[in-house]
Structure formats: C-alpha cells, structure tokens
Structure 1
C-alpha cells in the first residue's frame, strides 16, 4: 500500500489550481480533461489531486494497492464500505470510512499495464 494522492474536491478548479500552484508553489504534473489536475510539492513524492467532478465528495488520501479486489476481501473490519470496488479507467477503486469518520480511497492500476 502506497499513499499516492491527497484527493481534494473543488467547486472551482481554476481558483484551487491558482492557490496550490501559484500561491503555495506546487508543480503541475498532469491533467485529465477539464476537471482534474495533479500537482506535487517539490521534494515530495505524494501528489495532490484537485478534482471538480464532484465538489461534494469527501477529501481524503488515495492509496494504491496491487489489487483492490484483494484488499477489499482482506480489509480490516474497522473500515466501513462506502463504495464497493468498481472499475475505473486504468484499474479499480473502492471507498471506505475509518472509525474516526475519515474517508480513504483505495485504487489499483491493474489495467493500466495492459494498455501499454
């Protein structure tokens, strides 16, 4: 399991991008369409993912695992399922809530390699 992104939903992608990139010094890494931008703070491997697809989605860490299906089957009982594993472009994703209320996103990139 590896912390890959901090997922930050936004209702104004341009304003959020301006804050993180121009105000806080993050470097833009990639974009997906007009709604998602990934950035990194120089010297860090963790990325921030700004996303305007669902501004009401809870912010939280996105962890990458080898297989979301395997993780889901073996997950700690303390993780409540918010969204069952589902296919996403490049792999699969599931969403959980930990006992304190924070949301965790778990994804794999299992089909990314198949495309290459």
Structure 2
C-alpha cells in the first residue's frame, strides 16, 4: 500500500487549476478528461489530484489488487462500492474519526487489459 495522491474535490476546476499552477507554482502532472488534473508537489512523490468528481477529500493509496485488499480488511467501513477508473478501480473508505481515504488499483494496466 503506497500513498500516491491527495484527492481534492472541487466545484470549479479552472479556478483550482489557477490556484495550484499559478498561485502555488506547481506543474501539471497529468489530466484525465475535463474533470481531473493532477499536480506534482515539489520534492514529493505524492501528487495532488483535483477533480470535479464527487467524493471526500483524503489520501489515495495504491494497492496491487483492490478486491484482495477489501477481502483482507472486511471491517473497514465502506462509503460506497468500487467503481472503475482508467486502468483499475477505486473505493472510498472511512478511517478513524470519520475521515475518508481512498484505495485504488491499476490492475488493468498491469494485465494489459
């Protein structure tokens, strides 16, 4: 399990891009469609993912196999069901204090699907 992103949901993506790029001076790392942009955080392997997709702000951890992770952690509260993302799946979970965190895999990319 590795921390890859900090997920930041926003209503106004252009304003968020202006803030992270122009105000903070961060570089765009990648973009997915018209609703998600990730920024490289200087001196960090973790990126900030800004998106208009619904969900709660929180860390996003990558695992090899999301299904296997969920099977191994059945008592972790789920805030929905896994859904598809490019090359994999993601789910929003709940940690201590009611804080959200997200777990995803890129299993389809690894398998070449």
Q: TM-score, normalised by structure 2?
A: 0.91
1:41-52 equivalences under 5 Å are 41-52=41-52
1-10 or 90-99, which deviates more: 90-99
Paired with 1:101 and 1:107, the residues of 2 have a C-alpha distance of 19
Give the 4+ runs in structure 1 shifted more than 6 A.
none
Match of 1:30 in 2: 30
* Structure 2: tracts of 5 or more residues without a match: none
For the residue of structure 1 that corresponds to 2:81, the secondary structure is strand
Match of 1:104 in 2: 101
Aligned-pair distance for 1:21? 1.1
For the residue of structure 1 that corresponds to 2:53, the secondary structure is coil
Paired with 2:12 and 2:83, the residues of 1 have a C-alpha distance of 27
* Structure 1: tracts of 5 or more residues without a match: none
Aligned residues: 113
Larger fraction in helix:
2
Match of 1:91 in 2: 88
Larger fraction in strand:
1
Aligned-pair distance for 1:76? 6.3
For the structure 1 residues 39 and 108, does the alpha-carbon distance in structure 2 shift closer, same or farther, using more than 3 Å as the test?
A: same
